[in-house]
C-alpha cells in the first residue's frame, strides 16, 4: 500500500512552491505530472503535456525516491486517520463519563 500518483503529484507541486527542487526531484515531479495528466485528461480535449517538459521515464534511483515518497505519504495518511479516530474515541469516552457523573447523584461531597 502506497500513496497514489495524484497525491505524490500534489505533494511535489506544493513542495516545489516552497523551495527549489534539485534535478532529480524536478524530473520526478515532471514524470508523475505527465503520468497523472495522461491518465485523467479527456481524450476529446486533445491537450497533452508540452513536449519540452514531458518526462516519460526516470532512472531507477529516481523511481526508488518516488516509491519512498509515496510510502511516506501513505504512512502519514494512515497515522493521521488513526490519531483522528483516537481523538474521537477519547472525546466520546470523556463525554460519556461527564454524562454519567451528571446523572449519578453524589453520595458524599467533601
Reduced 3-state DSSP string for 2-22: CCCHHHHHHHHHHHHHHCCCC
Model confidence at 98: pLDDT above 80: yes
* CA contacts within 13 A on the Cβ side of 101: 6
Per-residue confidence at 107, pLDDT binned at 50, 70, 90? low
CA distance 9 to 35: 9
pLDDT at 109: 62
What's the pTM value of the predicted model, to 2 decimals?
0.75
Percent of the chain whose pLDDT exceeds 70: 95
Span 2-56, pLDDT tens digits: 899 999 999 999 999 999 999 999 999 999 999 999 888 877 777 888 889 999 9
Taking every pair of Cα atoms in the chain, the longest distance, rounded to a whole number of angstroms, is 80
Please provide the size of the chain in residues.
Answer: 110
What is the average pLDDT value for the chain, to the nearest integer? 91
User: So where are the chain's domains?
Assistant: 5-101
The predicted pLDDT at position 92 comes to 95
- Distance in angstroms (rounded) separating the CA atoms of residues 58 and 109: 72
For residues 54 and 19, is the Cβ–Cβ distance under 8 A? no
User: What is the grid cell recorded at 46?
Assistant: 486533445
What's the average model confidence in pLDDT over 84-96? Answer: 95
pLDDT at 95 over 90: yes
Measured distance CA(20)–CA(10) in Å, rounded: 16
Amino acid at each position: 500500500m502506497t500513496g497514489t500518483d495524484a497525491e505524490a503529484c500534489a505533494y511535489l507541486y506544493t513542495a516545489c512552491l516552497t523551495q527549489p527542487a534539485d534535478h532529480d526531484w524536478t524530473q520526478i515531479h515532471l514524470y508523475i505530472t505527465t503520468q497523472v495528466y495522461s491518465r485523467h485528461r479527456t481524450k476529446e480535449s486533445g491537450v497533452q503535456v508540452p513536449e519540452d517538459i514531458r518526462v516519460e521515464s526516470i532512472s531507477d534511483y529516481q523511481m526508488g525516491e518516488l516509491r519512498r515518497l509515496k510510502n511516506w505519504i501513505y504512512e502519514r495518511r494512515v497515522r493521521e486517520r488513526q490519531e483522528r479516530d483516537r481523538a474521537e474515541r477519547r472525546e466520546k469516552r470523556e463525554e460519556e463519563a461527564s454524562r454519567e457523573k451528571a446523572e449519578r447523584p453524589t453520595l458524599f461531597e467533601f
